[in-house]
Homo-oligomer: A and B are copies of this chain.
Amino acid sequence: MTSRMLEMTWQKFGEKMRNGAVVILPLGSTEAHGLHLPLGVDVITSTGFAELLAGEINGVMAPPLVYGYKGETGGGPIYTGSIELNAVTLINLVHDVLEELVADGAKKIFIMNGHYENEMFLLEAMDLITRKYPDVKIVESAWWDQVDDELIEQIFDEVPFPGWTVEHAAIAETSLTMYFRPDLVHMDRFVEEEQIRVLNYHVSPLKREIYPSRGAPSTSRSASRKKGELMVGKIMQGFLKVVKEEFR
């Protein structure tokens, strides 16, 4: 039984809405992720988790949004292939999709984010919708929100955890992509570069000189499919707890 909305008939979807199913909306980005990972990492991971979650809770996975907000850590605008939306566009897009889901009877919506910089714009769209439809509840989370200290230690067993802001195309994302789409990971192309210098401020235009030439701001050397599997297991537990808390 598919949980992908795009593969359902409208009748099947309507039935699920009448039964109070949770709709899970994955969002990613199209963004450079080093030389060893594809542009779609954030789509692959968010869609991967969304589908797993929908399967677990008999929910529906709405079609994914594959373009996201401008990446900063990943250095989006610096590398070709990063296709990034303006803030207003992203807010309106998520707003409209949410409003239509609500119009179709969805009362429980879970936004599965796969790209950090999307977050605040998702919150804005959520707020605009729940002001209009106060009986709807919308949750937003991302896989990294569900990673606890214990898991961090397990993932970063060889190198110290550099903080989430530079964990772009690095051990965690690489391991997850190895789990969901191993065919798209090319560790042979990975070259260790100096880790990006983390600024304690933001600056525009982005400082090209601090971004690595290959697009991976920190090492992914010790990534593995096994770590990916471990992560997926623990993260899914986290998501299920959120769902239980908010949508029981």
State the A residues within 8 Å of B (CB).
4-11, 13-14, 17, 30, 32-40, 43-44, 62-67, 69-70, 72, 77, 79-89, 91-93, 95-97, 100-101, 103-105, 117, 119-124, 126-130, 134, 137-141, 145-146, 184, 186, 189, 200-205, 214-215, 238, 242, 246
Contacts and interface: CB of A to CB of B under 8 A. Distances in A.
B10 A33 contact: yes
A21 to B, nearest CB: 12
Contacts of A67: 63, 93, 96-97
B88 A200 contact: no
Copies of this protein in the complex: 6
A64 B114 CA distance: 17
A32 B126 CA distance: 22
Contacts of A103: 77
B87 A8 contact: no
